[in-house]
Chain A
Amino acid sequence: MFIIECPWCGKRDQSEFSTHGEAHIARPEDPSVLSDEQWGDVLFFRHNPKGQHYERWNHAHGCRRWFNVSRNTASSEIYASYKPGEARPGAGKS
């Protein structure tokens, strides 16, 4: 359990947020040309690092807006939170 900084609302308790997995997954431009293997990768395969990770969060019980978080899955330390469309910050502390 931790404190997350919503880019719009500021620091709030994690229980106000919902999480939706890995961030920065580019949707394929033309899914119809993908092989089964590539399509399976897009749908089901995610990075699951022990350490720094980029993920999508939604301020579900607040402004209900989406944003991205850079977090350490081994220590729960949050390095940065940033708005969608912004470039991902470097790994580790910014």
Chain B
Amino acid sequence: MKNKYSIFSLARNALSYHQRWQTAWRSPEPKKQYDVIIIGGGGHGLATAYYLAKECGITNVAILEKSWIGGGNTGRNTTIVRSNYLWDESAAIYDHAMDLWSDLSQELNYNVMFSPRGLLHLAHSVHDMQEISRRGHSNHLNGIDAEFLNPEQIKKMLPFIELDCRYPVMGGILQKRGGTARHDAVAWGYARAADALGVDIIQNCEVTGFNIRDGAVCGVQTSRGQISAKKVGVVTAGHCSVLAEMAGFRLPIESFPLQAMVSEPVKPIVDCVAMSNGVHAYISQSDKGELVIGASSDTYTSYTQTGGFDVIEETIGAIVELYPLFSRMKMMRQWGGIVDVTVDRSPILSKTPVDNLFFNCGWGTGGFKATPGSGHVFAHSIANGEMHPIAAPFSIDRFHTGGLIDEGAAAAVAH
């Protein structure tokens, strides 16, 4: 039984100099057999396992992670949370996540530092203005909050912004429920809560192949031996194509590097998330005080978790143009992750040509925000053997039927 985190446990542990904190999750040896194996110990995989155990009554579950949990894209994103997508299907899944975000810290008994500080999309061209207008009205129809702001209102929110520059600020759209959450805490919170329900989190365990019998998956081969399973869920983001190839099919996905960086910590100055999709400049401030800046993805496919300096230069150029105040900020760290991008920039939550093998991937450049919702509907899909109604439109079949959910064309850029 896990000790509950509270003000009292904090005080109690302070008295023992914080030497007696319970381990947050076990490191068990893999069992021979599981009801469900989740491949990939990122946020989405951990959330899936948690909801399988919590809501679906399936506790004989293992998460297989090739390195350490939350070490991939979960720990590499810019922590942005929002749900103001254009299409009904996207609105449904991202707003489902938003509902879960709102009390996730209480649900997990772990402070995920969800901070709905407001998320502002800036429009720098007529096209941008038309895009936010269309999307904002679509949001209203879906019951998602969206406020249109004029340049004066934006200046009030961000007093240091340069409205009249190379990228003139013509307007903006604000989702007040949007904001940020602490990415590592999301992984750790789900891991701890899933572990408490009996889920085995097995790190340093790389899957090297699938055991498939009569067209159905019956287990996996790993760097730590064979493990059999009744059902397998693959949640491996940038590496989903590699896993699909092991299972004998292809995905409509290509993997690209996506970079981000943080500055030295400074006093609070940016109290919302400001995004300029048109010029690929995304900025917010972490609770530690670092400016968190996201770039656009590189244009070539790669698995290297590094990207080009030209991409960083372009992003920083746009940041400095819009926010000249930051021109002398020092960047502390810069890194890349591998994002799994579909042609319509919408995810894939789907059954596959192999029975009992499910894939949850293709979240591309914006998967963090969906973590709770994605895990929740994917867990129910695996448990029931049929895709959850919110997940169903994201089937891999859409690339053959033509039923694309084209957020890419809607936003005209990565999001």
Contact = CB atoms under 8 A, between A and B. Distances in A.
A10 B250 CA distance: 35
Nearest to B312: A1
Given A1-B310, A40-B400, A50-B242, A45 B304 contact: no
B302 to A, nearest CB: 5
Nearest to B341: A48
A53 interface: yes
Interface residues of A, number: 26
Given A1-B309, A15-B310, A45-B251, A36 B302 contact: no
Contacts of A15: 308, 310
Contact of A36 (B241, B253, B299, B401): B401
B321 to A, nearest CB: 19
B301 interface: yes
A14 B298 CA distance: 11
Nearest to B342: A44
A54 B307 CA distance: 19
Given A15-B310, A76-B302, A47 B250 contact: yes
A46 interface: yes
Interface in B128-163: none
Chain B CB within 10 Å, residue with most, of A21, A40, A47: A40
A44 to B, nearest CB: 4
B400 A48 contact: no
Interface in B223-257: 239, 241-242, 245, 250-255
A14 B301 CA distance: 13
B17 interface: no
Contacts of B253: 48
Nearest to A46: B254
A53 B310 contact: no
Contacts of B251: 45, 48
A33 B253 CA distance: 25
Contact of A19 (B241, B242, B299): B299
B5 interface: no
Q: How large is the interface on B (under 10, 10 to 19, 20 to 34, 35 or more residues)?
A: 20 to 34
A37 B343 CA distance: 16
Contacts of B401: 36, 40
Given A50-B239, A74-B304, A18 B299 contact: yes
Contact of B252 (A18, A36, A37, A44): A44
Contacts of A37: 400
Contacts of A36: 400-402
A55 interface: yes
B254 A21 contact: yes
A44 B300 contact: no
A48 B254 contact: yes
B323 interface: no
A75 B305 CA distance: 10
B399 A55 contact: no
Nearest to B249: A45
Given A15-B308, A76-B304, A44 B399 contact: yes
Contact of A53 (B301, B304, B309): B301
Nearest to A1: B308
B343 A44 contact: yes
B304 A19 contact: no
Interface string A70-83: 01011110000000
A11 B248 CA distance: 38
B104 to A, nearest CB: 32
Contacts of B335: none
A47 to B, nearest CB: 7
A40 B399 contact: yes
B21 interface: no
Contacts of B242: 49-50
B308 A50 contact: no
Given A21-B254, A48-B253, A73-B301, A14 B241 contact: no
B395 to A, nearest CB: 12
B304 A48 contact: no
Q: Which 10 A-B pairs have the closest CB atoms?
A: A48-B241, A1-B308, A40-B400, A44-B252, A15-B310, A44-B399, A19-B300, A50-B303, A40-B399, A74-B303
Interface of B: 239, 241-242, 245, 250-255, 299-304, 307-310, 343, 399-402
Given A21-B301, A76-B302, 15 more contacts: A1-B310, A14-B308, A14-B310, A15-B308, A40-B400, A46-B250, A46-B254, A48-B251, A48-B301, A49-B245, A50-B239, A53-B301, A71-B300, A73-B302, A75-B304
Interface of A: 1, 14-15, 18-19, 21, 36-37, 39-41, 43-50, 53, 55, 71, 73-76
